[in-house]
Amino acid sequence: MKKIVECVPNFSEGRNQSTIDAISDAIRSVKGVTLLDVDPGKSTNRTVYTFVGDPESVIEGALAAARVAKKLIDMTTQTGEHPRMGAMDVCPFVPVANVSMEECVEISKKFAERAAAELEVPFYLYEYSQDKDYRKKLPQIRKGEYEGLPEKIVKPEWKPDYGPAKFVPGWGATVTGARFFLVAYNVNILGTSNQAHRIALDLREAGRSPSEPGRFKELKGLGWFVDEYNMAQCSFNLNNYNVTTPHEVYEAVKEEAAKIGVGVAGSELVGLIPLEAMLKAAEFYIERENLFILDEDQKIKLVIDRLGLNSVAQFKPAERIIEYITREEPNEPLANMSTRKFIEAINARTSAPGGGSASAAIAAIGAGLGAMVAKLTYGVRKFEHLEGQLRAIIPVLHETALGLVPMIDADTNAFNDYVEAMRLPQGSDEEKNSRTGQMELGLKKAIEVPLQTMRIGDKAWEGMLEAAKIGNIASKSDVQVGARALETGIWGAYQNVMINVAGIKDSKFVSEKTGEAERLKERAAKFCAEIQGILEKRRD
């Protein structure tokens, strides 16, 4: 699996477009790096860059950006609304996929060591990369900002982790480290900067003072006025969206604003946001408003509307949700075929795709038909009294049908692994033993995949049964076909399990897997018969 690290350097320049573009070009020039977002702010005089890449590439990308900043940004003349202490003010590294926080700690240290040595500037570590509690958080290190740095940096307790312990006027100092995914989130206030700041103080973890903490943990905030928007903003950093979510902050800002008679006009996401945070917001509004939404695309649209994320600029999910930007299309050539091409592939003179892939497809169609009937029944006025029951079964049938689709390719891939093992050399005893072992592993996978198809399909039976009882009678034949298809798909997967057990010497494995497969096959036959019996008797 590909390792993906996110780097989010913040530079103290948001007005000079040529400098902003030069830093962007430097990042883009690094092979293995993808620049995802560039977010400049004139009032803050700050630009946030977001790029991703493998561990080595993100270090090179950050170095390339720092080199340009050293040449083009002069901190002796820099001013802006945002707190800052350096040209490259902060440069966090965030684990995104298949990378641990510990790896990101090492990445940040390698970057700091190299940048400090090459540019001859001071670097401080923070968050997970820093082991000194008094200088672990960004506000602790940045206290006094650039103006206070000449006096601060020469104190023994504030000696930089890397680079010279002296003031470098044109650069200042940089903070780097590994951290959890930070969500930068601003809520628009139709009032003054003082009113926005007042609200932010009431909500942020630090509150107004140690004796007056705010409402939310892991939340930083302040208020300012943004000239280009002609609005004030409560500007927040959510250090851990699992502790405090954007939608909780937005709703709290609305509450506090109402107390002082101030309007709220949507919100703004700075940089990127994890899909999980968006889906948490969707579930909040779905539950609060008693909505019924299954499709992820519709859930995202709901959040964009409820949080007013289009208020100052269009929020494009494909460009702002990190999983959407970094995801790779699944390697599912069979599932992505047209129906005609898939049937032609099965019809060809090849051993794969075969019965296992066909069984997964048939089972998916069966569950999909059950979902279709339930969805067509839901929302119809004459069936309003059944909405509670339909809301319970639709998600299960919907997810089962979609969950079976990847199994179409998984089954063929499992068979191909076994075939590759058969082709291994067998000239020596060592080669023969290795080949036998790999063949057994291939067979075990060839059993586990159709068994997983059976497990997934089995989840649909209660929903199919309910659809048979309460679904629109006009769709009776769809449920009949769906139940028979689901049962056939599970039966076919069972046959693929049983045909492969003969070549396995691991008797415990064989006993466990065949026993489970027998139970699932019997459940399928029982449910299918019960469903067909119910539908034969229904006349309403």
Catalytic sites, residue numbers: 82, 411
Q: Give the tokens for residue 171.
A: 């650069």
| CA–centroid distance for 1 within its chain | 16
Residues 6+ apart with CB under 8 A from 453: 356, 359, 360, 363, 404, 407, 411, 489, 490, 493
The candidate with the shortest Cα–Cα distance to 12, out of 141, 109, 146, is 146
Q: What is residue 16's DSSP assignment?
A: -
CB 189 within 8 A of CB 199: yes
Q: Give the tokens for residue 153.
A: 């940096």
The candidate with the shortest Cα–Cα distance to 44, out of 182, 225, 203, is 225
Query: Residue 353, preceding bond cis, omega within 30 degrees?
Result: yes
First to last CA, the chain: 53
Please name the amino acid found at residue 388. G
Separation CA 64–CA 79 (nearest Å): 24
Residues 6+ apart with CB under 8 A from 28: 35
Residues 6+ apart with CB under 8 A from 297: none
Please name the amino acid found at residue 6. E
CB 33 within 8 A of CB 85: no
**Would you list the DSSP string of 160-187?**
-SBS-SS--TTTB-EEEEE-PPPEEEEE
CB 236 within 8 A of CB 185: yes
Q: Does the CA dihedral 358-458-388-391 come out positive or negative? A: negative
Cα–Cα distances (Å) from 15 to 104, 173, 194, 228, 237, in that order, read 31, 21, 24, 12, 22
3-state class (DSSP) for residue 49 = strand
Cα-Cα-Cα-Cα dihedral of 129, 133, 135, 137, to 10°?
A: 70
Q: Tokens 């699932």 — which residue?
A: 520
Q: Give the tokens for residue 27.
A: 């990042």
Separation CA 294–CA 81 (nearest Å): 42
Please name the amino acid found at residue 37. D
